[in-house]
Amino acid sequence: LSHASETEFYINCYASLQDEIKWWNPNNYTIFPVTDPPTTVVTETEQAFGLSELKDKGAITTQTKENLIFLVAALPRDTRRNLSYTLNEFVLRCSFNSKDCNMERDFKLHVDPEYGNCYTFNFNDSVELKNSRAGPMYGLRLLLDVHQDDYMPTTEAAGVRIVVHEQDKEPFPDTFGYSAPIGFVSSFGLKTKVLKRLDAPYGSCSDTFRPDPYIYEEHYSDSGGYHHIQLECLCQQPCTENVFETAYSAAAWPSVNFKIGVDCPAVPDIYNDTTACTDYYRKNTAYIEIYYEQLNFETLNETAGYTNPSGKRTRGTQIFRRNARMRGQSIGETACHHIQRSPIRL
């Protein structure tokens, strides 16, 4: 029997050899059914994880994922980091503005309780990474390996999670972002809008607001306040905010005749097999392109409809003014595994 067959055999039954019968006779055993485990154990487990009243498989899977997130989040940060893949294991290729990425300088680790190790590109505002031309050739291009064999049974989809955000903002891939599937080139074309809101007495925005305490290292954002579960926080919108509009398109990758040009993973069975190597990349990798569709950006200014001499806030019309400007663009992107990883690496 194979290992899988042996496992299945001894889970479901056990064998008792009869006296004076030789071992090589395949009929020399009697099968006894194994009783099911007590239902009370299953019920207690289901109740503990909030599954006892759920019937829909989708709801059960979602609740199980949430339980796993809480369990992983309770682990020390170093333990959580070691459960997921390193940058070099995750990112097989990287180029920006048609030049090689500096992996150590350009990427920052972000450990997320749901997605594991995420990596933020262009996080350091002291290093100028700007592109002066629009189009996918001059944006960020990544080849990412998700190692699908390590997926857990609760993982419903295979791919990666992409978040486009400002450099000084904390990424929240569970709330904001886009999913990119394996076996495709996923292209994300960006356009920038700059929102400028009025502060007091005409509005309630603030660029310096930060609740105390605040658990995130990066600058405050309203989404960060909600994730922090800050009760009665009166969370404020920033007075100046960059918003990235995204257009998504995809194409199958790699094509039939495309030469991948990189070594297959360290799997002896397929290392010298071109067909098997291509098949591996179709089932385990995603090619990502993030770029600007145009280098101009739109500014929306909020202005007061009218004021009174006392300077008090008055009811009036809010006027938005649109201005188009040109500049070299600079943003941050965060890429994560679109999975809940098994906590055991083999």
Phi, psi of 320 (to 5 degrees): -110, 130
86-337 belongs to which CATH class?
mainly beta
Name the percent of the chain lying above pLDDT 70. Answer: 64
Give the Cα separation of 33 and 331 in Å (integer).
62
Give the Cα separation of 153 and 135 in Å (integer).
38
Q: Residues 237, 204: contact at Cβ < 8 Å?
A: yes
Tens digit of each residue's pLDDT (9 = 90 or more) over 170-191: 888 888 889 999 999 999 999 9
Name which residue leads in pLDDT, 69 or 250. Answer: 250
Each domain of the chain, given as residue ranges in start order, spans 4-35, 86-337
- pLDDT, residue 312, reads 54
By residue count, the chain amounts to 346
| Residue 207 per-residue DSSP state | S
| Residue 35 per-residue DSSP state | P
Tens digit of each residue's pLDDT (9 = 90 or more) over 84-96: 889 999 999 999 9
Q: Residues 229, 223: contact at Cβ < 8 Å?
A: no
296 band by pLDDT with thresholds 50, 70 and 90: confident
The yes-or-no verdict on residue 15 having pLDDT over 80 is no
- pLDDT, residue 52, reads 72
216 band by pLDDT with thresholds 50, 70 and 90: low
| Residue 208 per-residue DSSP state | S
Reduced to 3 states, what is the DSSP secondary structure of residue 74? Answer: coil
- pLDDT, residue 262, reads 61
The yes-or-no verdict on residue 309 having pLDDT over 50 is yes
Give the Cα separation of 95 and 24 in Å (integer).
61
Least confident window among 258-262, 269-273, 291-295: 269-273
Q: Residues 328, 158: contact at Cβ < 8 Å?
A: no
Name which residue leads in pLDDT, 319 or 127. Answer: 127
Give the Cα separation of 59 and 287 in Å (integer).
31
129 band by pLDDT with thresholds 50, 70 and 90: confident
Name which residue leads in pLDDT, 246 or 219. Answer: 246
Instruction: Enumerate the β-bridge partners of residue 251.
Output: 185
Name which residue leads in pLDDT, 222 or 138. Answer: 138
